[in-house]
Structure 1
Amino acid sequence: MKPDDGEVLRRHIAARLERRRTVLVALSGGLDSTVLLDALACLRGRQLPDLAPRAVYVHHGLSAHADDWAQHCQALCRHLAIPFQQVRVSVDPADGGIEAAARSARYQALAQALLPGETLLTAQHQDDQSETLLLALKRGSGPAGLSAMAAASPFHGHELLRPLLDISRAQLRDYAESRRLRWIEDESNQDQRFDRNFLRLRILPLLKKRWPHFSRAAARSATLCAEQETLLDELLAETLQQLTRDDGSLELAPMMGMSAIRRAAVLRRWLASFGMAMPAQEQLARIWQEVALSRQDAEPMMRLGDRQIRRFRQRLFILPLWPPLRGRVLLWEDTGQPLPLPEDLGLLRLGSGGGAVRRPRMDERVSVRFSATGTLHILGRRHGRSVKKLWQELGIAPWQRERTPLVYYNEQLITAPGIFITHEGQAGEEETGLNVEWIR
C-alpha cells in the first residue's frame, strides 16, 4: 500500500458516513472489522473529532476460541479507547442450518445492542459483495436478490451502513499490514462445506485469475440491479399504497386484473414492507394460488418464515405464528380479581362496560376457553347458528376466533366478552348481572 493509501481509505469511509457520528461497529476481530474500527479511531482523532464509535462482539459459542476472540476484541477497543460490549447468543442449527442460524442470531443481537440514534456499521467489502451475488445466482434469485447487499438500509428502526463495499479484501489487508494491525483468523472460514467459503476459496480465485477485475464488475452488476429495484419501488409505490389498508392488509380484488409479473412485484413489496425476507418465485406463486385464490369458504393459511399469510374477506394479512390456544382452559376462581390471559391477549375483569350476564350458580365453575362447538343461540338473534357461521356473520377473522376468550359456566358457553352473550348467559330482568370486560 502506498504511504497515502491509508488516508485514502479513511477519507472513503468518512465520505460514506456523511453526517452520521454515533455508530456501533459489529466487531468480529477479523481483518475486515479490525480495519474498519482502526480507521474510525483515526478519523475520530483527525477529520471527525465529534465521531463517537462503539463496538460490539457477538459471542456465538461455536468455536473453542470464542472466549479468546472476545478478549482480543476487548483489548483492541481498550487500545483504541473505544467503548466495548460483548453479547452472548445461542445458535440453533435446526433454524435453517448453522450459517443461517448464526447470522440470524448475530443480527438480532446487534439490533438489541443499538442505542437511540446509533447507526450500525458492518465491514462487508467488495469481495463479499461478489460472493453474495454468486450465491443469489445459485438460488435463482431475481433482481432483488441480485442486488446483493445495499450500502445503506433500514435496520430495526435504525440504519445499517456498509462503508467498505467499494473496497477489496486485498486493499484491506494492505491497510492492516501498513498499520501493523493484528486480527483473528477464524478457522471456520476454511471449511468448504459452507457455500460462501467454497466460493471464496475455490471459485473466486479462478475467476480473478482469468478476469482480475471480476469482483469490481460483479459489485457494479449488483448496484445496477439495486437501481432497477429502486425504480420499481418508485413506480409501484402508489399502487401498493392504494391496495394497503390501515391495518396493513392487502386488497385482492384490484389485483385480479393485473399481469402475473406486476402482481408478483406488488406482493414482494407488500411482504418487504413488513420486513420479511424475499420469498422464492415458487413461494409467491403459492401465496397467490393457495391463499388468495382458495375457495371462498376456505380459511387458507401459508407459513412464511416466522409469519403466516392468511386471507379474509378478499384481503391478505401477514400475522405472527401464534401458538395454538385450542384446548386451553383457564379457571377463574375469583371473578372479583382480573384474570390474565396468555399470549399477550390482555385480561378479563368485571366492570361496567358491555352487556351483563347472569351470575354463576353455586354448582357452576367459571372458566375461560378459546374454542366452541355446536349451535349457539345468542341474544339479538331469533335462530341458532353454527359456531363457524356465527363468527362469519360477526365479521371475526379465523385467527381472531382462535384468540378470543370465551367465558363458560361448567360446560355452558356464556359470553364472548364484548362480542355476544348466549341465551343461557342472559341475566334476569331483576338480577344484578356481571359485566365482563376484555381489556387488550
Structure 2
Amino acid sequence: MIETYIKKTKNLSFLLSYSGGLDSTFLFFKLLRIKDNNPKLKFRAIHINHQLNKNSGKWSKHCYDVCKKHNIPLIIKKIKVKENKIGIEASARLERYKKIYEQVFQKEIILTAHNLNDQCETFLLALKRGSGITGLSGIPYESKLFGKQLIVRPLLKTPRSKIENWIKKNNVNWIEDESNYDVKHDRNFIRHKILPLLTKRWPSFIKNCAKSSFILKKEKKILDPILKNNLDKYLILSSILDIENFEKLLPDTIYSLLRTWIKSNSYIIPSHKVVKKIYYEIILSKKDSKAKIKIGDYEVKRYKSNLHLIKIIPCIKNLIIMWYKPMISLKLPHNLGCITQNKFGTILPLPKPNELINIRFQTSGKILIQGNSMRKPIKKIWQDHGIAPWNRNKIPLLFYNNELISALGVFVVSKKKCHTNIKEWKLSWIQNKY
C-alpha cells in the first residue's frame, strides 16, 4: 500500500496520474489523508484527456473540481491518440506517458494506480500474445519512465475489490467510463468474461497470477545483466548494432539480443514474430539490402554490416532555421537535440556582422572539406564518414547566409579554415537519445 511505500522513501514529492476513475480516486484520497498527517508530503495531480470519449471534457472538469476542493495542484493536458499496429490501448498509454514525462519535476516520483487485478489481466494478455519472460513479468512495482523518471505503482498488490469497498464505505464520487464494459477490447473481455469464471473455480487465481509474474520478474532480473553484457559486445552506438559476426550465434541468442537492443532504445518490447522477421528479412539479407521493418514510431534498417534503429520523423530536408541569438542554445525539431557553444565543440570561424547564421538539413554539389585535397560530391563525403542514408538529412548543417560552413560533428568546409587572424568559436551538436 501507499502508506508502506511512503514510510520507506525519503522523497515525498509526487505527481499522481489522475484519471478520476476508481483506482486513481482511491489513491488520490489516500494521499490526501497521509498529507494531513505528514505536512512534508507534497503531491500534484495530472489528468490526461485522451479525447476518445464524448464525456472526456466532463471527466476533466470532475478532476478539476476535486483538486480545487482539496487544494491540490492539477495539470490537465489533451493528447491525440492514433491507432496503429501496437493497438489503441498501447498507443494511448505511450502518448499519456509522454505527456506526463513532459510535466513531471525532476525530483518528483510519478504514481499510477495499477492494482492486483490489472497485473493479472496484463499477465493473461501477455499469455494470449505468446509473450516471453519480459511480457509475462507483467507490470513492475517500480520502473524508470523512458529510462529516466521514477514511476511507482503502490497499489499493485491491492485487489480491486478492496478498493471498491473503501470507495463505497467512504461515499467517494468517481468517474465510471462506460467503455470499460465494452468487451470488444481484450482487457475488458478478460475482466468481465474470463476472470469471473476463473475466480469462481479458483478464488486465488488473481493473486497466483501476480505471484507468477513476480517470480518471472526475479528471474528476468538475473538474466538482464547477462543479456546486457552480451549486447555491449556488438554495440557501435546505442542505436547501431554490428551484425558482422552474428553468423556465429544461434538464432535464439540473436532474438534475445534484438529484443534487448530495441527495448533499451525505444522502450518498445517487440514480439517474437517481429524479431524473427528482422533476423530473416534484414540480418540474413545482403549488405546493400533496403529492407526495413517498422516497430511503432521506429524502423529497423541495415547499412553495410550494421543494424540501425531509427526514430521516424517528418521530412525536414527543406527546413531552414534562423539562429538569431547564438549565445542561446538552439533547440532542433523532432528531438534531434540542440546546438550550443561549449569548450568541447568544433573550432569554427565566427560569422561576420553581415552574415546570418542558419541551420539546414540538405546541401548538394562538390565540397572541399578539411583533411581532403580535392572536392568531392556530398554523397561521397557522407559515405566516407560512414553516415547511413537515412541519417544524412538529420545532421544539422551550419550556414552563414547561403555558404556552408560545417556539418556539425562530421566535417568542416576547408575554405573556412581558421587562421590566427580570424576570430573563432566552438560549436557542438548535442544529440538526444530517443
On whether the aligned pair clears a TM of 0.5, the verdict is yes
Q: 2:272 aligned with 1:281, yes or no?
A: yes
For the 8 Å contact 2:297–2:311, the answer to whether it is kept is yes
Greater CA deviation, 296-305 or 105-114? Answer: 296-305
Unpaired segments of 5 or more residues in structure 2? 323-329, 340-345, 350-358, 417-423, 430-434
TM-score normalised by length of structure 1: 0.75
Partner of residue 87, structure 1: 76
Q: 2:106 aligned with 1:116, yes or no?
A: yes
Matches within 5 A, 1:143-162: 143-156=133-146, 157-162=148-153
| 1:310-339 deviation per Cα after TM superposition (whole angstroms, max 9, x unaligned) | 33453333232133356x48799xxxxxxx
Q: Choose from 77, 93, 100 the match for 2:90.
A: 100
Partner of residue 59, structure 2: 69
For the 8 Å contact 1:24–1:121, the answer to whether it is kept is yes
| Matches of 2:371 and 2:48, distance apart in 1 | 59
| Secondary structure of the corresponding residue to residue 248 of structure 2 | coil
Q: 2:386 aligned with 1:401, yes or no?
A: no
| 1:179-220 deviation per Cα after TM superposition (whole angstroms, max 9, x unaligned) | 222222111112222111111111111111111111111111
* Letter of the structure 2 residue corresponding to residue 142 of structure 1: G
* Letter of the structure 1 residue corresponding to residue 116 of structure 2: Q
Which 4+ residue blocks in structure 1 deviate beyond 6 angstroms? Answer: 329-332, 375-387, 413-416
| Matches of 2:404 and 2:35, distance apart in 1 | 68
| Matches of 1:420 and 1:36, distance apart in 2 | 56
Partner of residue 26, structure 1: 17
Partner of residue 187, structure 1: 178
For the 8 Å contact 2:347–2:427, the answer to whether it is kept is no
Partner of residue 7, structure 1: none
For the 8 Å contact 1:377–1:384, the answer to whether it is kept is yes
Unpaired segments of 5 or more residues in structure 1? 1-11, 333-339, 355-366, 428-434
| Secondary structure of the corresponding residue to residue 299 of structure 2 | strand
Instruction: Compute the displacement of 1:249 (Å).
Output: 2.6
| Secondary structure of the corresponding residue to residue 256 of structure 1 | helix
Q: Pick closer, same or farther for the CA change 1:122–1:390 going to 2, 3 Å.
A: closer
What is the aligned length?
A: 398
For the 8 Å contact 1:291–1:310, the answer to whether it is kept is yes
Q: Choose from 212, 216, 221 the match for 2:207.
A: 216
Q: Pick closer, same or farther for the CA change 1:368–1:317 going to 2, 3 Å.
A: closer
RMSD over aligned CA atoms reads: 4.1
Partner of residue 53, structure 1: 43
| 1:265-296 deviation per Cα after TM superposition (whole angstroms, max 9, x unaligned) | 12222222214211111211222333333322
For the 8 Å contact 2:361–2:393, the answer to whether it is kept is no
| Matches of 1:416 and 1:23, distance apart in 2 | 45
Partner of residue 236, structure 2: 245
| Secondary structure of the corresponding residue to residue 233 of structure 2 | helix
| Matches of 1:110 and 1:239, distance apart in 2 | 33
Partner of residue 4, structure 2: 15
| Matches of 1:37 and 1:309, distance apart in 2 | 41
| Matches of 1:27 and 1:89, distance apart in 2 | 13
Q: 2:219 aligned with 1:228, yes or no?
A: yes
> Greater CA radius of gyration, 1 or 2?
1
For the 8 Å contact 1:74–1:84, the answer to whether it is kept is no
| Matches of 2:172 and 2:347, distance apart in 1 | 70
* Letter of the structure 2 residue corresponding to residue 134 of structure 1: L
